[in-house]
Amino acid sequence: MPKVNVNYFANLRELMGVREEKYKVKEGTTLADLLLTHIPNKHPKVSERWKIQVFEIEDSEIKYERDGTPSLKYLVLINGISYTSIREGKKRPGLRYKLKDGDDISILPPVGGG
């Protein structure tokens, strides 16, 4: 069973009440499963706020990309690399990335500058 570490930054750290935590997940668990199921289930009191803050929400529904994956408004890194940049062979799995033992997931708020 893979064990992954999740790091929260800025307002998410305040929302979740922890800086980091570990999750034991089943083989084949995806990044989407972690973000949409495992984390909200572990934090039921803030699960709705979690989904609203991390995902693009329209009329209390998660907004989906063309490929059927949820649209994130936060930066998610897996082992220091954006989940959108990770390659598995010739494909970029995005939120369908299958978590591996020892993966380090960091979730950061969007940043802007001027």
Residue 31 lies in a domain: yes
pTM over 0.85: yes
φ/ψ bin of 68: left (φ > 0), alpha (ψ from -120 to 50), beta (otherwise): left
Domain CATH for 59? 3.10.20.30
> Any residues with CB less than 8 A from the CB of 25 and at least 6 apart, and which?
1, 2, 3, 4, 33, 34, 38, 99
Residue 18 lies in a domain: yes
Tokens at 18, concatenated: 């922890």
Expressed as residue numbers, the domain containing 18 is 3-108
pLDDT digits (tens, 9 = 90+) for 66-97: 776 777 888 999 999 999 999 988 888 998 99
Residue 114 lies in a domain: no
Within the chain, where are the H helices? Answer: 11-16, 31-33, 39-42, 47-54
Residue 17 lies in a domain: yes
pLDDT above 60: residue 114: no
Q: Are strands 104-108 and 3-8 parallel, antiparallel or unpaired?
A: parallel
Q: What is residue 71's predicted lDDT score, i.e. its pLDDT?
A: 77
Residue 82 lies in a domain: yes
Residue 113 lies in a domain: no
Rg of the chain over CA atoms, in angstroms?
14
